Amino acid sequence: MAAPAPLLEVKNLRVEFPTRRGTLLALDDISFSIAPGEILGVVGESGAGKSLTGAAIIGLLEPPGRIAAGEIRLEGQRIDDLPYEQMRVIRGRKIGAIFQDPLTSLNPLYTIGQQLVETIQTHLPVSASEARERAIKLLQETGIQAAEQRIDQYPHQFSGGMRQRVVIALALAAEPKLIVADEPTTALDVSIQAQIISLLKRLTKVHGAAVMLVTHDMGVIAETCDRVAVMYAGRIAEIGPVHDVIHSPSHPYTVGLMGSIPAMDEDRDRLAQIEGAMPRLTAIPRGCAFNPRCPQVMDRCRSERPDLMDAGPTRAACWLVASKVRT
Query: Using CB under 8 A as the criterion, which residues of the chain lie in contact with other proteins when the complex forms?
Result: 45-46, 159, 161-162, 189-195, 197-198, 216-223, 242-243, 246-247, 256-265, 268-275, 277-278
Q: Which is nearer to other proteins, 52 or 61 (CB)?
A: 52
Instruction: Give min distance, CB of 243 to other proteins, in A.
Output: 5
Which is nearer to other proteins, 216 or 305 (by Cβ)? 216
Compute the distance between CA of residue 235 and CA of residue 230 in angstroms, rounded to an integer. Answer: 9
CB count within 10 Å of CB 182 equals: 23
Tell me the C-alpha to C-alpha distance, in Å, between residue 324 and each of 237, 247, 309, 318.
17, 18, 11, 10
Q: Residues 6 or more apart from 186 whose CB is under 8 A from it?
A: 100, 215, 216, 217
Among the listed residues 184, 215, 185, the one whose alpha carbon sits nearest the alpha carbon of residue 43: 215
Closest to other proteins by CB, 92 vs 252, is 252
**48 or 179, CB closer to other proteins?**
48
- Using CB atoms within 10 Å of the CB of residue 244, give its burial: 0 to 12 exposed, 13 to 18 middle, 19+ buried: middle
> Nearest approach, Cβ of 278 to other proteins (angstroms)?
8
Min separation Cβ 319 and other proteins, Å: 21
Report the nearest approach of other proteins to the CB of residue 137 (Å).
21
Shortest spacing between CB 219 and other proteins, in angstroms? 3
Burial of residue 2 (CB within 10 Å: 0-12, 13-18, 19+) is exposed
Q: Which is nearer to other proteins, 85 or 275 (CB)?
A: 275
